[in-house]
Amino acid sequence: MKKATAFWDASALVPLCVHQTASHHAHVYIRKLMPVVWWGSAVEIHSAISCLNRTAKLTDVEKKGALVRLDVLSRGWREILPADQVRNLAGQLLDIHELRAADSLQLAAALTWCQQRPSKRKFVCADRKMAQAAKDVGFSILQL
């Protein structure tokens, strides 16, 4: 049986690499929903892991383990690649929603994935503003 897909924001993928409060829910969702992600998500997740390490919330050993988990996770996801359509849509989203640039690219990638028909499509997210923007454009939100 083919696994269902959902768009996963980087904020929802970090708890799969690093133990956090949201990790339990993220692991439940990953068993059911194959991730579709923005091309830059691996860099965003790596950035979050490095930040946790720099602020002493992760030891060097924990950081190494988190990066290994990221590598394994990234082998099983589908990426939406950078394209003019994604960039143009991200710019439009910035005019409508209170998003950071990277978040607008992720939401644009999600909309590109579903051919701008988000109805009945799942969007997994741990960021409140991103979840609201995704909900506003029509995604069904699974918030961690």
Looking up tokens 């960039």 gives: 87
Confidence of residue 3 (pLDDT cuts 50, 70, 90): confident
Residue ranges covered by each domain of the chain:
4-143
Task: Please give the share of the chain, as a percent, with pLDDT higher than 90.
Answer: 98
Name the pLDDT band for 1 (thresholds 50, 70, 90).
Answer: low
What confidence tens digit (pLDDT) does each residue in 26-83 have? 999 999 999 999 999 999 999 999 999 999 999 999 999 999 999 999 999 999 999 9
C-alpha to C-alpha distances, 84 to 9, 53, 62, 112, 125, nearest whole angstrom: 20, 34, 37, 11, 24
Q: 44 Cβ partners below 8 Å, 6+ apart? A: 10, 102
Strand boundaries in the chain, DSSP class E: 4-8, 33-38, 78-80, 122-125, 140-143
Question: What's the rounded mean pLDDT across residues 6-17?
Answer: 98
Domain at 4-143, CATH from 3.40.50.1010, 1.20.120.1750, 3.10.20.600, 3.30.420.40: 3.40.50.1010
Confidence band for 115, pLDDT divided at 50, 70 and 90: very high
Confidence at residue 67, expressed as pLDDT on a 0 to 100 scale: 98
